[in-house]
Amino acid sequence: MRITCPICGDRDLREFHYRGAAKLMHRPAPDAGDEAFYDYVHIRENPPGLNRELWFHELGCRAWLVAERDVTSHEFKSVELAAEAKRGAK
């Protein structure tokens, strides 16, 4: 697997650290209640196809990235900066 970092370009998998589902960027408000935190901390959609996920370009520009990847073929469909993804989602 290689990942195309929006800043550094096409790089080896070994430069990246995987964090998990992109939903981790959207922490519920402190008063959102137990159910919201249970869902945020523990529940994962875990789809067999396209997964939205967080990668950290640890040995590169050290930017957090949001990628869309097919977890059955390992093919990346898109990679963007997490900061921009978050701005876009708002």
Partner 1 sequence: MRYSALGVFWHGLTGNKGWKPVWRNPDPKPHYDVVIIGGGGHGLSTAYYLAERYGIRNVAVLEKGYLGSGSIGRNTTIVRANYMLEGNSQFYSHSLKLWENLEAELNYNVMHSQRGQVMLGHSDGQMDMLARRGNMMRMQGDDAVLWGREDVRKHLPYIDHENARFPVYGGLMHWRGGTARHDAVAWGYARGADMRGVDLIQNCEVTGIRVEGGVVRGVDTTRGHIGAGKVALTAAGRSSQVAAMAGLRLPIESHVLQAFVTEGLKPVIPHVVSFGMGHFYISQSDKGGLVFGGDLDMYNSYAQRGNLPMVEHVAEAGMALMPMIGKAKMLRSWGGVMDMSMDGSPIIDKTDIAGLFLNCGWCYGGFKAVPGSGDAFAHLIASGNHHPAADKFLLSRFRTGHVIDETGNGATPNLH
* Binding positions for Zn ion, rule: CB under 5 A: 5, 7-8, 57, 60-61
Distance of closest approach, residue 40 Cβ to partner 1, in angstroms: 9
- The answer to whether the Cα torsion of 58, 68, 24, 83 is positive or negative is positive
Nearer to partner 1, 31 or 45 (CB): 45
Residue 89 binds to partner 1 (criterion: CB under 8 A): no
Distance of closest approach, residue 90 Cβ to partner 1, in angstroms: 25
Nearer to partner 1, 19 or 87 (CB): 19
